[in-house]
Homo-oligomer: A and B are copies of this chain.
Amino acid sequence: MDFSPSARAAELTAAVREFIAAEIEPVERRLRRPAGAPVEWRVPDEVRELQRRARERGLWNLFEELSNVDYAPIAEATGWSFLAPYVFNCNAPDTGNMEVLARYGTPAQQEQWLTPLRDGVIRSGFAMTEPGVASSDATNMQLTAVLDGDGVVLDGRKWWTTGVGHPDCRVLIVMGLTDPEAHRHARHSMVLVPIDTPGVTVERMLDTMGFLDEPFGHGEVSFTGVRVPAANIIAGPGQAFAIAQGRLGPGRVHHAMRMIGLAERALHLACERGLARTAFGKPVMNLGGNRERVADARIAINSTRLLIQHAAWKLDTGGPLAALSEVSQIKVAAPNVAQQVIDFAMQIHGGAGLSSDFPLAAAWTAARAVRIADGPDEVHRGLIARIELAEHGAAR
């Protein structure tokens, strides 16, 4: 066993950290939208400039170039900033979509969509969740993707389609029901749908507890007689589940490590504030159980980081099927730990912790949302238990 990072991971992580501190954070502070100010669905020039500089320095598409274990600390570093993943072209859902295209796409699909995504020239969305059904069970999806001659026709409604508000968003990967008679894991297809296809309508942008997450956003999108070539089906009809399973492992490692980054930042802010402010004659940090909460945060962060790194290593060495339980474990653990630590940091900050003056309120909302996004905690707990019990002879 060796817990040292590789030389390359260490070097890139340091570079990313430095770039965030020196370049991104000042821009992020400047761009913070005051509460109540109008929402703008555009990318400021300064951010595009940051992307150019990041690419110049080789801090671009690192999620693709590195193993999961080597990328993990970089994902953590980008979790300190809401802007950083985009600046490094490592933001969801584009990362997952790029992985799908790289792994399952035809050369034509890759040329049309993967190349401009890698270049950061376009953005993409991922349309899976539906408003009308319990979407934590993906077999529930009811939007139809029916083969019709050389085309596939989509009808239905999606929501929480992340990325659809971005001005550069050009394509959606849409999960639709193709063959209701097939085995429950072979009924659905993933279809590439250019966003300007007739019949695609972004009905509204959804907020997450008051945050619109512009310029990416989460849209409710209707599909009415949307026809695209059958060649737009990724990996062929009925492959949606196989793709989803392959798609989600690395993305969950990224998400989980970003949560660790968020938690570290919250703990850092809590320590700073708790030592700087005084109440009842003592630093706030020395009141009540605050110091114990620092310790509990440290334990939770460290053990969860190791859990994620281990899952990343399992993905790297055994592939997604070998790491199913591990990936679900981090999907549950990471946002809960982040939420716990952010909660503590907010209490230490008092009213300031509720306002937009500090990143804590947005972090709190982000962590809370991740407990639902990509499958609620409960679904992942169910999967972990199923795998565990199968080792004791239970039907899987």
Interface residues of A (CB under 8 A from B): 1-6, 34-36, 38-39, 69, 129, 131, 133-137, 140, 159-160, 204-212, 267-268, 271-272, 275, 277-280, 283-285, 287-296, 298-299, 302-304, 306-307, 309-310, 313-314, 325-326, 328-329, 332-333, 346-347, 350-356, 361-362, 364-365, 368-369, 371-373, 376-386, 388-389, 391-394
Contact = CB atoms under 8 A, between A and B. Distances in A.
Copies held by the complex: 4
B306 A381 contact: no
Nearest to A207: B35
Contacts of A134: 277-279, 284, 350
Given A3-B1, A310-B306, A313-B3, A382 B288 contact: yes
A211 B208 CA distance: 11
Nearest to A347: B376
A197 B74 CA distance: 54
Contact of A307 (B296, B303, B347): B303
Contacts of A131: 351-352
Given A134-B278, A210-B356, A288-B289, 7 more contacts: A1-B4, A131-B352, A210-B210, A285-B389, A288-B291, A295-B384, A303-B306
Contacts of A205: 35-36
Closest 6 CB pairs of A and B: A289-B289, A210-B210, A35-B207, A137-B279, A295-B381, A306-B306
A306 B326 CA distance: 13
Contacts of A384: 294-295, 298-299
B333 A299 contact: yes
B306 A137 contact: no
